[in-house]
């Protein structure tokens, strides 16, 4: 038994096509891939918002406000 459909490479290469594991489950793999991509954006977005809110209150606030007045 082989996950890629071949147990031996003693074959006619003209007959060989896909050689990746779990052929037939491509749609499921795409669903998992898209879920990973969307989840990444969601997690990154939430973390960045928290980070920027924290960063807003760092540093010398008086100096920052003085600079903002200048511009």
Partner 1 sequence: MDGNLNALTTVFTEFYYWVTVVFMFLIHVGFCMYEVGASRHRNHMHTLMKNIMIIPLVTVTFFFFGWWIYWSFPNFPFFGGLNHDAGSANLPWSQNMATNLSDRITGVFWAAFLLFSWTAASIVSGAVIERIRSSALWVHAVMIGSVFWIIDAAWGWHAEGWMVKYLGYHDAYASGVIHAVAGGYALGVIMVLGPRIGKFAADGTPRDIPPHNPWMLTIGIFLIYTGFWGFYAACNIPAISPDGIGGLLTGETWTATNIYLAPTSLSAITFNFLMSMSGGLMAAYLVSKGDAFWTFSGGLAGIITASAGNDLYHPIQAMLVGAVGVVIVYKLHYWVERTFKLDDAVGAVAVHGYSGIVGLILAGFLLWGAPSSPYDGYATVNPVGQTIGAVIMFGVLGWLPGFLISKIQAAAGVLRIPVEVELQGLDYAEHHAYEDAKAAIIEADKAALTGSSRVPAE
| Site residues, partner 1 (CB under 8 A) | 13-14, 16-20, 23, 26-27, 29-30, 33-34, 37, 40-41, 44-45, 48-49, 51-59, 61, 64, 67-68, 71
Q: Minimum distance from CB of 1 to partner 1 (Å)?
A: 19
Cβ contacts of 23 within 8 Å, gap of 6 or more = 4, 5
Gyration radius of the chain over CA positions: 27
Q: Minimum distance from CB of 44 to partner 1 (Å)?
A: 6
Cβ closest to partner 1, residue 8 vs residue 59: 59
Residue with tokens 């200048």: 70
């Amino acid at each position: 038994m082989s996950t890629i459909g071949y147990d031996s490479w003693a074959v006619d290469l003209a007959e060989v096509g896909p050689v990746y594991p779990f052929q037939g489950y491509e749609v499921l793999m795409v669903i998992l891939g898209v879920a990973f991509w969307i989840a990444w954006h969601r997690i990154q977005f939430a973390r960045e918002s928290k980070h920027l809110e924290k960063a807003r209150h760092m540093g010398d606030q008086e100096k920052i406000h003085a600079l903002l007045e200048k511009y």
